[in-house]
Amino acid sequence: MVRGPYKNGVERRKKIVAAAAELFGQYGYHGASLQAIADLVGTTKATLVSYFGSKEGLLIAVLDYWRRESSPETAVYHGLDFFRSHIALMHYHLTRRGLIELFLTMSVESSREDHPARPSILERQETTFRGMVTNLRHAVAAGEIPPMPEEQMERDARLLIAVMDGIELQWILDPRVDLEGLVCAHVDDAISRWSGTPIDEVRTETAEWLARHRIPPATGSTSATVTR
């Protein structure tokens, strides 16, 4: 059992990273000072430096935290299920607004080539893009959808990423936006188009998939309701 000073240090580190994630998300990397982060945690700048070495070191720890927390379990699904898992991801994000704020803020700031978050943001974009293209290939190989040109796979992957990121931005600006429902509708439309399956059938299949994985159907979405 971990106890004593080591355990206290681990817990303090987690609190610092969570506070930094919150302030970086709200004010950006340059707008959030080490002093403000220290004040939020109830410690000193010297303590932050002792744990992370520098503000950039703290940002790296925050980005590691963001990668772990922002995309749970999508990688365990393949083919069309991979795309449906992103509806579950939006459901997960509904209770983690700060992670979305952090991602959107860091994405905008990372347009500067010298920004310390740029490598992580570019890696995230490329990983997400390649994951979608790979799973379209899986869907073709499994007979879930007919063959399609590689260019179309890449185009559709880019469009889906743009839609999800754009809807997340709208949701951050206006919480009344139905984040989960809109992403669900777009994924269903894409699956219907890829597979040639009527949209009503796709909606029912998606609702059943969400029910099997214990994810509530998207509130306000067009997916059919399934009795459990």
The DSSP annotation for 157-193 comes to HHHHHHHHHHHHHHHHH-TTS-HHHHHHHHHHHHHHH
Residue-level pLDDT at 75: 60
What is the value of pTM for the model shown?
Answer: 0.78
Q: Rounded to an integer, what is the distance from CA 197 to the centroid of its chain? A: 28
Measured between alpha carbons, how far is 220 from 176 in angstroms, rounded to an integer?
11
Is the distance from CB of 177 to CB of 171 less than 8 angstroms? Answer: yes
Q: Which domains can be identified in the chain, with CATH numbers?
A: 4-61 (1.10.10.60), 71-212 (no CATH)
Residues 6+ apart with CB under 8 A from 47: 12, 16, 38
Measured between alpha carbons, how far is 212 from 228 in angstroms, rounded to an integer?
9
Low-confidence stretches of the chain (pLDDT < 70) are 1-7, 70-75, 214-228
- Give the helix ranges, DSSP H, for 71-198: 80-93, 97-109, 118-141, 150-173, 179-195
Measured between alpha carbons, how far is 131 from 58 in angstroms, rounded to an integer?
28
Measured between alpha carbons, how far is 168 from 22 in angstroms, rounded to an integer?
17
Q: Write the single-letter amino acid at 77.
A: Y
Q: CB neighbours (10 Å) of residue 116?
A: 18
Residue-level pLDDT at 219: 44
Q: Is 4 helix (H, G, I), strand (E, B) or coil?
A: helix
Residue-level pLDDT at 223: 36
| Length reported for the chain | 228
pLDDT of 107-149, one tens digit each? 898 999 999 889 989 998 999 999 999 999 999 999 999 999 9
